[in-house]
């Protein structure tokens, strides 16, 4: 009797990936919209120009605060419940932000932005949901494909801005009304999601490692550091980009086109990032991602021509893709199923905590350092250096250290 190799059946995982890709495309379209016009709308409402990017910072802060509760909710009630909750908060937040624009109230606009962050937190779990029913071989490809759904969002979101931003008497109000519709319509997709609820653990079931034990595991620690730095740098630069482009004399339409090119660069590589990770190893792809992020900063510092903005933001998107998908893949393979809820929530708490700081720093660096938009833009890009040194150093340390067979993996 000959022994045959069993090929895992990923048909359910592939169906779930299709649903998540569509959710990323439709619901995710609001994210490039918010990041393009959030700072510009904030600048029109804020009492001080240094606070222009505060609405974007509060979106990220809301995401950070929601990460642990959202992970716990999904661990107990399933992914569908969590994603529907996120879409509900997204609709509520954009209604409040729209009302803030109507009333010309910066405080209301900020409150809406904070509520919208809960949606952003839920969206961050799409990539983890893609792995729930996937085999180990399909896992990196599943993550990449779901992230690739952002490609459609990158096209849809900025184009919706061009159509809706000036559609009403109050600037940007039409765009926020459109985001309400995206949340309400996109929520219906989750009826087709087929991910079983996590079983209630038996009394004697393994509980896994504590959060402290997890975060001090070398591969987990390095994956969290690299994910955080990749996302921080992407947010730091992208948040300031519309302000820098308009401040340097270009039109808001130019800013929307540059953000479109950036978001396309974030997601187009996802069609092959998973294959590259499977072929060359996750550490090499993460290292290449950090190097490309450094190149983005160098290009941005060469001048403020439109070509520089386009090239820097394209490199920024590619670097984020390799660094963040690589770190997510490393993390997903470094914890056991019973540790999923606490580790994924902890990861996103740290990641979006860092992104919140980057977003807050972005507005201050852009508008309050130096006497011109050019000086502010240079300050933003120079701030990338210490974070790149941290992530690069951590990754080099992981590669050079002796392998430890006792490290937990899924």
DSSP 217-269: SHHHHHHHHHHHHHHHHHHHHHHHHHHHHHHTT--HHHHHHHHHHHHHHHHTT
CA-CA distance, 304 to 241, in Å (whole number)? 11
Q: What does the pLDDT average to over 105-122?
A: 93
CA-CA distance, 388 to 225, in Å (whole number)? 10
CA-CA distance, 410 to 403, in Å (whole number)? 17
Q: Where are the domains of the chain?
A: 11-195+210-400
pLDDT of residue 201: 64
Two tokens, residue 86: 């996120």
Query: Quick one: which of 103, 162, 126 has its CA closest to 17?
Result: 126
CA-CA distance, 218 to 405, in Å (whole number)? 12
Write out pLDDT tens, residues 362-384. 878 887 777 788 999 999 999 99
Q: What does the pLDDT average to over 75-79?
A: 87
Q: Is the pLDDT reported for residue 403 higher than 50? A: yes
Q: What does the pLDDT average to over 40-46?
A: 83
Write out pLDDT tens, residues 234-257. 989 988 888 899 889 888 778 878
Q: Is the pLDDT reported for residue 352 higher than 60? A: yes
Two tokens, residue 57: 């910072």
Kindly state the percentage of the chain with pLDDT values over 70. Answer: 94
Two tokens, residue 40: 């510009």
CA-CA distance, 214 to 247, in Å (whole number)? 45
Q: How distant, in Å, are the alpha carbons of 61, 127, 269, 351, 401 from that of 211?
A: 21, 21, 32, 15, 23
Phi-psi region of 249 (alpha: psi -120 to 50; beta: other; left: phi over 0): left
Burial string for 9-47 (b: 16+ CB within 10 Å, else e) reads ebeebbebbebbbbbbbbbbbbbbbbbbbbbbbbbbbbe
| Cβ-contact 72, 121 below 8 angstroms | no
Q: Is the pLDDT reported for residue 270 higher than 70? A: yes
Return the ∠ at Cα 115 (arms to 109 and 120), rounded to 5°: 115
Categorize the per-residue pLDDT at 165 as very low, low, confident or very high, splitting at 50, 70 and 90: confident
Radius of gyration of the chain measured on its C-alpha atoms: 21
Write out pLDDT tens, residues 327-348. 988 998 888 777 777 887 788 8
CA-CA distance, 375 to 377, in Å (whole number)? 5
Query: Quick one: which of 374, 407, 393, 205 has its CA closest to 286?
Result: 393
Q: Is the pLDDT reported for residue 174 higher than 70? A: yes
Q: How distant, in Å, are the alpha carbons of 44, 245, 378 from that of 304?
A: 23, 8, 9
CA-CA distance, 232 to 234, in Å (whole number)? 6
Q: What does the pLDDT average to over 285-300?
A: 96
| Cβ-contact 232, 387 below 8 angstroms | yes
DSSP 3-state of 288: helix
pLDDT of residue 47: 84
Level-2 CATH architecture, domain 11-195+210-400: Up-down Bundle (1.20)
Q: Is the pLDDT reported for residue 57 higher than 50? A: yes
| Cβ-contact 78, 195 below 8 angstroms | yes
CA-CA distance, 91 to 112, in Å (whole number)? 10
The full DSSP string for 17-80 is HHHHHHHHHHGGGHHHHHHHHHHHHHHHH-SSGGGTTHHHHHHHHHHHHHHHHHHHHHHHH-HH
Sole residue written with tokens 């937990």: 408
């Amino acid at each position: 009797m000959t022994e045959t190799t069993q090929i895992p059946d990923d048909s359910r995982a592939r169906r779930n990936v299709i649903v998540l890709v569509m959710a990323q495309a439709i619901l995710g379209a609001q994210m490039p919209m918010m990041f393009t016009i959030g700072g510009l709308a904030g600048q029109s409402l804020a009492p001080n120009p240094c606070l222009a990017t505060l609405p974007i910072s509060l979106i990220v802060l809301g995401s950070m605060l929601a990460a642990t509760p959202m992970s716990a909710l999904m661990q107990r009630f399933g992914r569908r419940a969590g994603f529907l909750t996120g879409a509900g908060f997204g609709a509520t937040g954009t209604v409040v932000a729209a009302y803030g624009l109507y009333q010309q109230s910066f405080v209301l606009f900020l409150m809406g932005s904070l509520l919208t962050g809960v949606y952003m937190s839920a969206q961050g779990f799409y990539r983890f949901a893609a792995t729930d029913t996937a085999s180990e071989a399909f896992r990196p490809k599943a993550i990449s494909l779901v992230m690739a759904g952002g490609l459609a969002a990158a096209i849809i979101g900025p184009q919706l801005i061009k159509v809706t931003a000036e559609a009403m008497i109050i600037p940007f109000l039409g765009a926020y009304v459109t985001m309400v519709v995206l949340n309400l319509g996109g929520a219906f997709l989750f009826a087709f999601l087929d991910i079983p609820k996590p079983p209630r653990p038996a009394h004697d079931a393994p509980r896994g490692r504590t959060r402290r034990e997890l975060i001090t595991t070398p591969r987990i620690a390095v994956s969290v550091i690299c994910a955080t730095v990749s996302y921080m740098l992407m947010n730091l630069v992208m948040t300031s980009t519309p302000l820098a482009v308009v401040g340097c004399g270009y039109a808001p339409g130019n800013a929307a086109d540059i953000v479109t090119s950036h978001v396309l660069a974030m997601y187009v590589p996802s069609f092959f990032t998973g294959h590259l990770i499977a072929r060359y190893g996750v550490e090499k792809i993460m290292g290449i991602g950090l190097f490309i992020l450094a190149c983005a900063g160098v290009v941005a510092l060469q001048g403020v021509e439109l070509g520089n903005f386009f090239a820097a933001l394209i490199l920024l998107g590619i670097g984020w893709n390799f660094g963040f998908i690589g770190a997510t893949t490393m993390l997903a393979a470094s914890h056991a199923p019973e540790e999923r809820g606490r580790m994924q929530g902890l990861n996103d708490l740290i990641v979006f905590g860092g992104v919140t700081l980057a977003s807050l720093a972005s507005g201050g660096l852009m508008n309050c350092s130096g006497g011109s938009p050019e000086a502010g833009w240079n300050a933003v890009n120079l701030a990338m250096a210490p974070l790149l040194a941290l992530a690069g150093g951590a990754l080099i340390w992981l590669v050079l250290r002796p392998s430890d067979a006792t490290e937990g993996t899924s």
